[in-house]
Every structure is written in structure tokens, then in C-alpha cells.
Amino acid sequence: MKAIQLLHVLLDYDYPQVFVARDAIGVRYVCMVAEEVEHGPVFLCVPVSDYRCRELLTGKIDLRHVYENPELSEFYQASPDDLTEPFGIELTRFNVAPQDWLPDPGLVFQYDDEVLIKAQELNATVAFASLAVPEASHEARIRTRKLSEFLAIYQGVLRNLARVAAKSNGKAIPKGDEPYESDVFGFCPGSFTVQVRSAESCDMLGENKALISAFTKLNEFLALADKPDEAVRFLLGIKGHAASSLISLLNFIAENDCPFANTWSTPGMRSSSKSKIRVASAQNVIQRCRHREDLGVEDIALTGIVDSAKVSTSTWRIDVDGVAYSGGIKDGSNLNLAGITVGNRYTFHCQEKIEIVHGTGREVKIISLVRFEPA
């Protein structure tokens, strides 16, 4: 027996009477009450393609059309005790829906969760990032420089939040892997809205775990923005590059006078998740952060062969497994590089922070040496 899980309720009267459900491999079913019996309602379910489902959700076809003209001549019945849990469906013996079970013509639905519908259409993790820039007030328009800078900052936010979430779950993302990468696939009018989807392959349910964790954290932060003290506590909880990239997003919002909203969904969510932030809220959080220089700093340890250590300029370079790192000495430190022997192996204990190149959104990492020891 197959099992399906309710996704979207389209008609509710005392209980869901028409809804869309999904099975374990992502196939969608439209279900409606066919009859009432002593033990409860009996639902008639028909499998539908993503395209047919989208047509129904957006009012392009009525409910009767789905049952009169099924894409597959398969109908299932279900008598669930609890619609909040997966429930079984049984294949019927008929391949044409009984006339007395068909709904009246003209019953259409307008399910307006555009982001969720798009996630189901693409079978991917999707987000709509909306920037209410002044030039987009009457048409889908934005300065090229501004869009380029925003996309770089936005991708940095996703990358750093995904890595923080993975690390906190004990499953750090391997170096070189970028499961959080996203592609722009469209734009919406009104406030300038960028439509992004997971660039990496999703699982069969259309879920990208790295992006899901990043979007969850981002919306959690945006929801706190009206309470600056709580927003700063959130940043203190993640610190490092993730905090730095979120502060860069706040600076972009404030400098460009554009409220920001982020709405995301996977195909299997009941509804999309949306959070937004006002310009004034971004400015208030920025003010609080100016007194916390430690927010954007990450402690790192670099173990490798020292290529150079210049006392006159207080700069150094170290090769770590074929990757070169370079930097200076932490401001205010009395550290002297004269004690380093070039060509020997050392561990450099450093602080790393991200600075954003204004106008491009490009990240530049600044590494400052705190102390060193032979390795």
C-alpha cells in the first residue's frame, strides 16, 4: 500500500475536503472527499504531474477537469484517521471516476504561494530575494552595479551560514565543496526580486540541505532585526565570517535605502518561509555592531612551511599543504617576526576577518598573526 502526506489544503470545511498530497518519491496526488461514511470521509485521489498540479493551484483548470481527464487512468481511495500524518491509499478497480463523485464544473483555486509553487515546479530548493530599490518602484529595474554587489553579498551570506550550520551539526562541509551555491533563474516585477535556486543537485524530494540550513538561519536573523539587541545576540552566537557577511548585508540595505525580504521553500513544505527587514532596523543593528569589533573575527591555525617573514613590514607568508596564506601582525601586538626561521615548519595562530569591497560585494580575507610556535 502506498502512503501519502498532505501538502496543500485547497478547500476546508470542518476538515480538509480538497488537498494536494505527495508520496515518498515526490509524486503528487489531488484528493477530494468522495463520500461520507460512518467512520468518516472517503477521499478519491488521482496522481498528477507537476505541470497539472500547478495548473490546478493557479486556477487555469477546474477540479472536475483533473478527475474527468486524468493523466494516468489510476484512482486511489483513502480513509485517513489523521491528515497530519502520512496515510495509506489503495488502488481502485475503476479507471474512470464515477459520475456521482465528480465535483461541479467551475470549482477553481488560487493558491498564491508563488515560491512554493516554483519550488515544486523545479523540484528544487528555491528563494525569492526582494530588494525594494527606488528604481524598481514602477518596473523590474535595478542598477547593474547594485545588483552585482547584492548577489555577491547574498551568496556570501548563504555560504557562511551553511558552513556554520554544518559545523554545529558535527558535519563540516569539506574544503572545496560548495553545496550552497545558487543560480539566478528569473526576476519578478514590483520591488526588484531575484529568483534563485540550488545550483547543486538536490535529493529526490528537491531538498538541498546546505541551502535549507542557510535560508533558515537568514530568515531567523531577519525576523529579529526589529529587536536590535536580540539581533546582536544572534550574531554573537555565530560570530566569524557568518556574522560578518550578515553585517555586510545590513550595510548594503542601509546604504542603498532598500528594504529586503527573503522568501524560500522546498517542494515538500506546507508553505514558504518569509522574513523581511526595514532600512531603519538595519541601521539600528549596525549601530549596535559598531561597538563589537569581535563579531566578524574567526580564530584559525595555519600549520605549514614559512616562505617569508619580513620584520620591516611586519608581513609574512606560509605554505599550508600547497595553499599559500599571507598577512600581517594583529594591530596593537608587540609580536616580532625576527624569531621565525624561513623554510622551517610553524603553526601560526591567527585571526581572520572578511572585508567587503565596496561596489562589488567581493569578499577579501584579512589575516592577522597573533602568535606562532614551531610545529
* pLDDT tens track for 273-292: 999 999 999 999 999 988 77
Cell numbers for 329, please give them.
601582525
**254, 130: one domain:** yes
pLDDT over 90 percentage in the chain: 58
Query: Which structural domain, as residue segments, surrounds residue 196?
Result: 115-289
Q: Which long-range contacts (CB under 8 A, 24 or more apart) does 198-203 make?
A: 198/124, 198/125, 198/126, 202/123, 202/124, 202/125
Number of folded domains in the chain?
3
**328, 208: one domain:** no
Domain boundary among 83, 111, 139: 111
**273, 164: one domain:** yes
Q: Using an 8 Å Cβ cutoff, are 347 and 301 in contact?
A: yes
**346, 317: one domain:** yes
| pTM (2 d.p.) | 0.71
- CATH number, domain with residue 355: 2.40.50.140
Asked if pLDDT for residue 41 goes beyond 80, the answer is yes
**178, 83: one domain:** no
**178, 154: one domain:** yes
Residue whose C-alpha is closest to residue 146's, from 217, 183, 194: 194
pLDDT band per the 50, 70, 90 thresholds, residue 194? confident
**359, 243: one domain:** no
**138, 242: one domain:** yes
pLDDT band per the 50, 70, 90 thresholds, residue 197? confident
**131, 187: one domain:** yes
Where helices occur in 42-113 by DSSP H, the ranges are: 50-57, 63-68
